[in-house]
Amino acid sequence: MPQTVLTRGVPTRAVVTGAARGIGRAVAARLVAEGWQVVVSDLDAAELETAAAVTGAHPVPADVATDAGVAGLLSAASEHLGQVDAFFGNAGIALMGGLDTPDADWARILEVNVMAHVRAARRLVPEWVERGGGRFVVTASAAGLLTMLQDLPYSVTKHAAVALVEWINATYRHHGIVAQAVCPQGVQTRILEQSGPLAGLLSHDRALTAEQVADSVWAGLQTDVALILPHPEVHDYYVKRATDPDGWLAGMNHLQQKLEQHIEAQPERQRAGASGASTRHTHVIDTEEHK
Ligand SMILES: NC(=O)c1ccc[n+]([C@@H]2O[C@H](COP(=O)([O-])OP(=O)(O)OC[C@H]3O[C@@H](n4cnc5c(N)ncnc54)[C@H](O)[C@@H]3O)[C@@H](O)[C@H]2O)c1
């Protein structure tokens, strides 16, 4: 296996998207603390300034939902860093939609959760092949290995993000390219804060801090593993899904039924919230259904 460009102990130049807050900001802070040169990027330019000041990274505001946004980000990052050795495609959105999700919403989430990564990879990977190495890290989700009840577009796009990582590894590992998918369950970020009345029920599995996820990412960077699992139990759920798909799906459907009963039992006011963001972390639950 060729040596990747990320020789241990040598400062590396990286871009982290979705880094104004949450997991992206924590990963950027960890990389800077480890001596890397980092460009942080986000749609939210004001919050990005704060994140840059706190982490010591260089801010480049960008909307990665467009090809021009990704191109502009990579161009500004290359100018600032000299070259990009590692890319962390972390920006992501959730819609809490089912089969009735409109096409416009599908288009938006596909751009952010999938095409942003494809567009970065198609610019960076050929460069990295020329140079003999590079690292492409995507913050997918446990939903990309399992599923997320109540959020079809999130489940589909996160599976696609994992598929991209697998494909890059399968195609370019012998050129020194390492691709990794970070697949956490619940993480204490804005997303979980917005989870509403069911959060307690649904998150009795451990909700990690963003810094704990950054620790896992850093450990993953040392090993080159394709799947970085901040919640180790996700490995067992993934094995269950692969070895007994029908049993696993029966368990997930049982869980869906319990959720529906729980939502039905909520007072009207809470139910409005429960039908949306509050069920976002259904894949978080550590229940018999997973096992
Ligand atoms: N929090 C969790 O429980 C959890 C679990 C699994 C996976 N994830 C994934 O982790 C990643 C980071 O999410 P987070 O939990 O830190 O949430 P967050 O909302 O705190 O951060 C996401 C950031 O992405 C930015 N962003 C969104 N669309 C963008 C775009 N088009 N261009 C540039 N930036 C954009 C947002 O402005 C925000 O700062 C996401 O991909 C999310 O799906 C989160």
**196-236: pLDDT as tens digits:** 444 554 465 689 999 999 999 999 999 999 999 999 999 99
What is the position in ligand 1's atom list of the atom closest to the CA of 92? 41
264 confidence band (pLDDT: 50, 70, 90) = confident
Annotation says 154 is catalytic:
yes
6 confidence band (pLDDT: 50, 70, 90) = low
Average pLDDT of the residues of the chain: 88
Burial class (CB in 10 A: 0-12, 13-18, 19+), 248: buried
- Three-state SS letters, 251-290: HHHHHHHHHHHHHHHCCHHHHHHHCCHHHCCHHHCCCHHH
Distance (Å, whole) CA 158 – CA 140: 5
* pLDDT for res 191: 77
Lowest mean pLDDT among 3-7, 61-65, 181-185, 257-261: 3-7
Distance (Å, whole) CA 100 – CA 119: 28
Q: Does domain 13-290 have CATH number 3.40.50.720?
A: yes
What is the percentage of the chain residues whose pLDDT exceeds 90? 78
Minimal-distance CA residue to ligand 1 atom 32: 63
Q: Record the pTM.
A: 0.92
Q: Where are the domains of the chain?
A: 13-290
**Residues lining ligand 1, CB < 6 A?**
17-18, 20-24, 42-44, 63-65, 90-93, 112, 139, 141, 184, 186-187, 189-192
Q: Where is pLDDT greater, at 268 or 42?
A: 42
99 confidence band (pLDDT: 50, 70, 90) = very high
- Which entry of 154, 172, 237, 238 is annotated as an active-site residue? 154
What is the position in ligand 1's atom list of the atom closest to the CA of 65? 31
Q: Probe ligand 1: pick from 139, 145, 209, 217, max atoms within 8 Å of CB?
A: 139
Minimal-distance CA residue to ligand 1 atom 6: 141
Span 32-40, mean pLDDT?
97
15 Cα to the center of ligand 1, angstroms: 15
